[in-house]
């Protein structure tokens, strides 16, 4: 039926190799360059995005009873796009109708189609960048990377893992059991991959594609039909994704309804009804701990994969590059105004200060150094806009306002100059004592606590205990003593947190690279699964056999 | 610390190869022969078993507050063995104390220890055979095979899958990201396997070792500590298992409490409290659907792997070996008096009969042929005892009595001659119409319904629908038309049932071979997991990383 598997086999094999070696590798260039994507790609992507504004988003053949859509760009304008909307029962029924055909396709056919979808999405990365920028508030360059190639890489990674698991068991074998001096018993056996059913993917506001693609592509490759439930404030990136998927499915002779969009409106979300529907077999969820906890508790027999939230920490014990440390931390705090699940919130610093290449630095000097580095990073308004982007959710501004009273202000938050129509905020940095509880809650957005601790060991223990209690996706350590580094690696591993040590150059604790870094461990309350490992894909299908005797 | 991994590496590699190829392979000889196990092994095993009777079972250092034990052999005598018993909190606390050391061992050390445990268990297969025989009612030969080598093979299979997954990600890698004309960014990355926590293994009465070893060894190899909760009527086989495990752990310098026995008494079971304990991270359960459903609903954030029950079917459309078919089915019905989760309950036969090598056979002739084959199989009392064994649970006899009124009796159940002290029952075979509901429930034990259907397609559809509603672990088909065979394979695959076609020789639908047959699919209500595939092991651990820059 298709030659797509053969067409993309080199990419698939490279992805499998990269995932096994875990060296750097990427299938989709992260540089938004005309030389790579075509000289007119940037303008074309913008034009395609703008042509969608103020119109209904057409998904031919998609079930619909009404339309919804009220997205407003964090940069100011309303998008004015409406999407087809259908009841949960209508969506599930349509998904089930599509299930048999898709489930009967071979793993190779499905994998080939997934790879073609990813290639098409890659070609539309500039359009996607605009869609992500104006739904999440990410600056354009980040929206391009995180919403485009990096998300596609994460999708490819999931497809590769899924294909590896689906092909681990042979499709047939001859089983020959010796019977002493008698003739052996010989059976022919046949195995096939059976999907689980209807998979639900619940997207988030800040990374609608990056966080959704792993679950979406893992479930799709393994033969499940998919209902994509975007956050009401970030529908467009996933609507474009669903549009591309449905186009490829139809071209290859499959039902478009194999993948559906479950658009809804703030205040009348259909998410809970989807989660509790008895036909839903798999749920991928990205979002808050509170709703994640509800999903885990209320899903029926569906397998649930969550990325929730946590309280990420940096612990500073010593550094041989004080300036590099401060500027590295500053970038991690300011990038997308701290609205990344990987952004640090707490910085544990010994109350008596630290040793550095610039001599001893007191607690206040360390705090001041980080604050100064943020100021320097954001001194140029254009650069500030490019780093911070805009604030996705108005509640984050309110949270910053409230947070100001939670400690001594080391650096105040302020709007980003030159983005007057946008909702923006630079990092708020507060100094607190270790015995305060203010820093022990996730405070999503550009809110940082510098916490005075006894020493680096105290900091590591507090950070790790917080991770065990509240979850954490990342941790960072600055330390020069190898024994203390290894001890911290042990402690954070026990807390299920991935740790970055002594980052001072152009790599940041926030960054998680497909094919090398597993994103989230699943080993603390920040999420129950990892993107993407074998555990993330192996339960999305079952293996069923038939066997019969054959003559010796 | 140990050379056990190296000592058993050949076995491990052979197991990995076998699981990949799925041809016949076994590590532990299934023949209870003195030539293999030692000339005195049979007598020694019996003597060791008998020496345990009427005494307290000593597990040195095991937590205990009291003792329990009231096992009665289905063959008559009370065992009179008591076991150390402790509260749930005491068991969980002891397990947690042992956790850090065991979780810190390398996958190779843990895998080597698991392989050594299996080798020691293999050497004690005769002792285990007696223990299994007198707790489950299995005849000696079956108790030896299913309780010993076959269970050990299933344990080895789980260890092999676990090791494969733990070693899939490298322990370290260098990540080099090009930066155009600038120096690349280079990070060293380190990964480690982190266990999930305390794993609970809930055993069943009929196959205490075979059904428990996969979960036990999968969780143990991946670094979790284990609490083994045996059925109160079948403690001894798992107590011996725990004894062997604790001995090896201690010899290798690990805490014996890494694996604990949670013995309890009928009527005051501690299972529910264990399931709901917040420290339990993994639960493996074998047993009824009703309690399985409770476990799945009431486990907290623990991952739950279940083998529950189902209604297994045989569908007869045609055969070119009527005598072989009847005798094959007869053995499947009589083996261990139908007390296998894989035993068929329903036989769907076209009401107008079937074509055979002996000419057309009416519905009644097919039913009579099967009944006669059962009679012939059980004509010799010694052979009948060896095939049927004894009835594990008195409730099964009551169930047979009740079932007699559910249809027309084709063959009545009767005690097995020559086992006068034992609780025994040969197969009851009833004929019913397709529209009756009597056969649509699991009726555990030697109860068979021969159901009159329109034709083979009707039979396949009814059997598959029943599997989808009530679960099924096995299905069998007798058919000569290739198109109908392939259609049935499709239909049973959709219902998540493994299918055996045209078995007439010395291989039976009840039998599931390690390294080749996945036991249970996880794709219908008979269980949510398969023994053993990647999905069974991949979630029993997490992967955690630390990374840092290194100079170019």
Q: Which of B271, B231, B248 is nearest to B132 (CA)?
A: B231
Contact assessment for residue B144 and residue B395, using Cβ atoms and an 8 Å cutoff:
no
Q: Give the pairing type, strands B225-229 and B259-261.
A: parallel
Work out the average pLDDT over B310-328: 98
A482 to chain B: nearest residue by CA? B548
- The confidence score (pLDDT) of residue B278 equals 96
- The confidence score (pLDDT) of residue A2 equals 61
Work out the average pLDDT over B292-307: 94
CA B528 to chain A, closest CA, distance in angstroms equals: 9
Contact assessment for residue B235 and residue B209, using Cβ atoms and an 8 Å cutoff:
no
Reduced to 3 states (helix: H, G, I; strand: E, B; else coil), residue A412 is coil
B296–A contact, CB cutoff 8 A: yes
Rounded-to-integer distance, Cα B465 and Cα B472, Å: 10
- 8 Å CB contact of B173 and A533: no
Per CB-CB distance under 8 Å, the chain B contacts of A522 are 542
* From B169, B523, B545, residue closest to A542, measured CB to CB: B523
Backbone angles phi, psi at B431, to 5 degrees: -105, 135
| Residue A552 pLDDT class (50, 70, 90 cuts) | low
- The confidence score (pLDDT) of residue A355 equals 98
3-state secondary structure B45-71: HHHHHHHHCCCECCCCCCCCCEEECCC
Contact assessment for residue B108 and residue B171, using Cβ atoms and an 8 Å cutoff:
no
User: Above 70 in pLDDT, residue A185?
Assistant: yes
B293 to chain A: nearest residue by CA? A301
- The confidence score (pLDDT) of residue A300 equals 86
B36–A contact, CB cutoff 8 A: no
Q: What angle do CA A151, A88, A227 make, to 5 degrees?
A: 20
Q: How many CB atoms lie within 10 A of CB B528?
A: 24
- 8 Å CB contact of A500 and B548: yes
Work out the average pLDDT over A9-22: 98
- 8 Å CB contact of A185 and B518: no
Beta-ladder partners of B282: B199, B303
Please enumerate in sequence order all residues whose Cβ is within 8 A of that of B231, keeping only pairs 6 or more positions apart, or say none.
B203, B204, B205, B208, B287
CA A155 to chain B, closest CA, distance in angstroms equals: 19
* From A191, A301, A506, residue closest to B185, measured CB to CB: A506
Q: How many CB atoms lie within 10 A of CB A436?
A: 14
Q: Which of B105, B169, B298, B493 to mutate to test the interface with A (most CBs of A within 10 A)?
A: B493
**Residues of chain B numbered 297-356 and touching chain A (CB < 8 Å):** 301
Please enumerate in sequence order all residues whose Cβ is within 8 A of that of B492, keeping only pairs 6 or more positions apart, or say none.
A544, A546, B460, B463, B464, B467, B475, B477, B498, B499
* From B22, B175, B530, residue closest to A173, measured CB to CB: B22
Per CB-CB distance under 8 Å, the chain A contacts of B194 are 493-494, 496, 521, 523
* From B175, B178, B192, residue closest to A22, measured CB to CB: B175
Q: Which of B177, B480, B514 to mutate to test the interface with A (most CBs of A within 10 A)?
A: B177
Tell me: the pLDDT tens digits for B210-244? 999 999 999 999 999 999 999 999 999 999 999 99
Percent of chain A at pLDDT > 70 equals 99
Burial of B104 (C-beta count, 10 Å sphere; 0-12/13-18/19+): middle
Tell me: the pLDDT tens digits for B497-537? 999 999 999 999 999 999 999 999 999 999 999 999 999 99
- The confidence score (pLDDT) of residue B552 equals 57
- 8 Å CB contact of A539 and B539: yes
Rounded-to-integer distance, Cα B544 and Cα B536, Å: 20
Rounded-to-integer distance, Cα A164 and Cα A538, Å: 10
Rounded-to-integer distance, Cα A335 and Cα A145, Å: 13
Tell me: the pLDDT tens digits for A130-180? 999 999 999 999 999 999 999 999 999 999 999 999 999 999 999 999 999
Rounded-to-integer distance, Cα A161 and Cα A3, Å: 21
A532–B contact, CB cutoff 8 A: no
CA A375 to chain B, closest CA, distance in angstroms equals: 25
Rounded-to-integer distance, Cα B127 and Cα B50, Å: 9
Tell me: the pLDDT tens digits for A274-317? 999 999 999 999 999 999 999 999 998 899 999 999 999 999 99
Reduced to 3 states (helix: H, G, I; strand: E, B; else coil), residue B390 is coil
Percent of chain A at pLDDT > 90 equals 98
Q: Which of B213, B112, B120, B226 is nearest to B514 (CA)?
A: B213
- The confidence score (pLDDT) of residue B60 equals 97
**Residues of chain B numbered 491-520 and touching chain A (CB < 8 Å):** 492-494, 496-507, 513, 516-518
Give this complex's ipTM: 0.97
Per CB-CB distance under 8 Å, the chain A contacts of B543 are 518, 521, 530, 533
Tell me: the pLDDT tens digits for B128-187? 999 999 999 999 999 999 999 999 999 999 999 999 999 999 999 999 999 999 999 999
Q: Using CA atoms of B1, B2, B6, B8 in order, give the dihedral in degrees to the nearest 10.
A: -150
User: Above 90 in pLDDT, residue A181?
Assistant: yes
- 8 Å CB contact of A507 and B168: no
Six-digit token string for B69: 């034990």
Work out the average pLDDT over B370-390: 97
- 8 Å CB contact of B523 and A530: no
pTM: 0.97
Beta strands in B21-171 (DSSP E): 66-68, 83-85
Average pLDDT over chain A reads 97
- The confidence score (pLDDT) of residue A487 equals 98
Q: Which of A24, A149, A163, A473 to mutate to test the interface with B (most CBs of B within 10 A)?
A: A24
* From A174, A176, A544, residue closest to B498, measured CB to CB: A544
End-to-end CA distance of chain B: 36
* From B178, B497, B535, residue closest to A538, measured CB to CB: B535
Six-digit token string for A184: 């052996």
CA A240 to chain B, closest CA, distance in angstroms equals: 30
A534–B contact, CB cutoff 8 A: yes
Computed on alpha carbons and rounded to an integer, the radius of gyration of chain A in Å comes to 25
Work out the average pLDDT over B318-339: 98
- 8 Å CB contact of A22 and B533: no
CA B2 to chain A, closest CA, distance in angstroms equals: 22
Rounded-to-integer distance, Cα B112 and Cα B109, Å: 5
Rounded-to-integer distance, Cα B176 and Cα A444, Å: 32
CA B539 to chain A, closest CA, distance in angstroms equals: 5
Q: Give the pairing type, strands A66-68 and B225-229.
A: unpaired
Tell me: the pLDDT tens digits for A373-408? 999 999 999 999 999 999 999 999 999 999 999 999
Per CB-CB distance under 8 Å, the chain B contacts of A521 are 194, 542-544
Q: Using CA atoms of B209, B214, B215, B220 in order, give the dihedral in degrees to the nearest 10.
A: 100
Rounded-to-integer distance, Cα B261 and Cα A265, Å: 53
H or E element in which residue B7 lies = helix B4-7
- The confidence score (pLDDT) of residue B355 equals 98
- The confidence score (pLDDT) of residue B300 equals 86
CA B417 to chain A, closest CA, distance in angstroms equals: 30
Work out the average pLDDT over A75-91: 98
**Residues of chain B numbered 145-174 and touching chain A (CB < 8 Å):** 165, 168-170, 173-174
- The confidence score (pLDDT) of residue A301 equals 85
A180 to chain B: nearest residue by CA? B31
* From B534, B539, B545, residue closest to A165, measured CB to CB: B534
CA B149 to chain A, closest CA, distance in angstroms equals: 15
State CA B36 to chain mean position distance: 25
Rounded-to-integer distance, Cα B289 and Cα B471, Å: 9
B489–A contact, CB cutoff 8 A: yes
- 8 Å CB contact of B522 and A542: yes
User: Above 80 in pLDDT, residue B488?
Assistant: yes
Per CB-CB distance under 8 Å, the chain A contacts of B549 are 502-505, 507
Work out the average pLDDT over B398-413: 98
Tell me: the pLDDT tens digits for A223-245? 999 999 999 999 999 999 999 99
A251–B contact, CB cutoff 8 A: no
- The confidence score (pLDDT) of residue A551 equals 72
């Amino acid at each position: 039926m298709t030659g797509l598997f053969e067409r993309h086999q080199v990419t698939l094999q490279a992805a499998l190799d990269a995932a096994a070696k875990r060296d750097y590798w990427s299938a989709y260039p992260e540089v938004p360059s005309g030389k790579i994507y075509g000289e007119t790609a940037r303008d074309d992507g913008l034009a395609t995005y703008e042509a969608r504004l103020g119109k209904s988003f057409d998904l031919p053949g998609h079930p619909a009873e009404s339309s919804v859509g009220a997205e407003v760009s964090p940069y100011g304008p309303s998008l004015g796009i409406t999407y087809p909307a259908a009841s949960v029962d209508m969506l599930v029924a349509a998904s089930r109708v599509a299930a048999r055909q898709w489930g009967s396709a071979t793993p190779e056919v499905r994998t080939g189609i997934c790879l073609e979808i990813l290639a098409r999405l890659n070609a539309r990365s500039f359009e996607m960048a605009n869609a992500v920028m104006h739904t999440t508030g990410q600056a354009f360059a980040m929206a391009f990377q995180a919403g485009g190639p990096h998300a596609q890489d994460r999708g490819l990674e999931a497809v590769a893992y899924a294909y590896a698991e689906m092909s681990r068991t042979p499709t047939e074998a001859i089983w020959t059991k010796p019977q002493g001096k008698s003739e052996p018993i010989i059976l022919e056996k046949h195995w096939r991959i059976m999907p689980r059913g209807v998979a639900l993917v619940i997207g988030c506001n800040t990374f609608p594609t990056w966080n959704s693609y792993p679950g979406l592509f893992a479930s799709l490759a393994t033969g499940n039909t998919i209902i994509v439930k975007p956050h009401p404030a970030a529908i467009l990136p996933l609507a474009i994704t669903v549009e591309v998927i449905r186009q490829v499915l139809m071209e290859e002779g499959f039902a478009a309804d194999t993948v559906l969009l479950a658009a809804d409106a703030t205040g009348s979300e259909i998410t809970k009804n989807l989660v509790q529907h008895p036909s839903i077999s798999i749920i991928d969820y990205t979002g808050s701990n509170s709703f994640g906890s509800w999903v885990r508790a209320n899903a029926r027999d569906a397998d649930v994969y969550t990325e929730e939230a946590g309280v990420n920490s940096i612990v500073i014990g010593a550094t041989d590059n004080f300036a590099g440390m401060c500027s590295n931390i500053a970038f991690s705090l300011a990038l997308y105004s701290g609205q990344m699940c990987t952004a640090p919130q707490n910085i544990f610093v010994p109350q008596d200060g630290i040793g550095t290449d610039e001599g001893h630095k007191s607690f206040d000097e360390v705090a001041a150094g980080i604050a100064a580095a943020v100021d320097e990073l954001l001194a140029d308004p254009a650069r500030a806009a490019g780093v911070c982007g805009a604030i996705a959710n108005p509640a984050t501004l309110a949270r910053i306002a409230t947070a100001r009273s939670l400690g001594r202000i080391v650096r105040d938050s302020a709007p980003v100059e030159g983005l007057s129509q946008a909702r923006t905020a630079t990092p708020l940095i507060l100094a607190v004592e270790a015995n305060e509880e203010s820093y022990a809650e996730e405070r999503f957005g550009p809110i940082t606590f510098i916490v005075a601790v006894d020493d680096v060991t105290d900091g590591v223990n507090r950070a790790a205990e917080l991770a065990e209690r509240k979850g954490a996706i990342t941790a960072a350590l600055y330390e020069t003593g190898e024994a203390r580094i290894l001890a911290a690696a042990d402690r954070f591993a026990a807390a299920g947190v991935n740790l970055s040590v002594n980052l001072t150059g152009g790599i940041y604790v926030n960054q998680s690279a497909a094919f090398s870094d597993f994103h989230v461990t699943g080993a603390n309350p920040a999420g129950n699964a990892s993107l993407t490992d074998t555990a993330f894909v192996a339960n999305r299908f079952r293996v069923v056999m038939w066997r019969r005797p054959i003559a010796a």
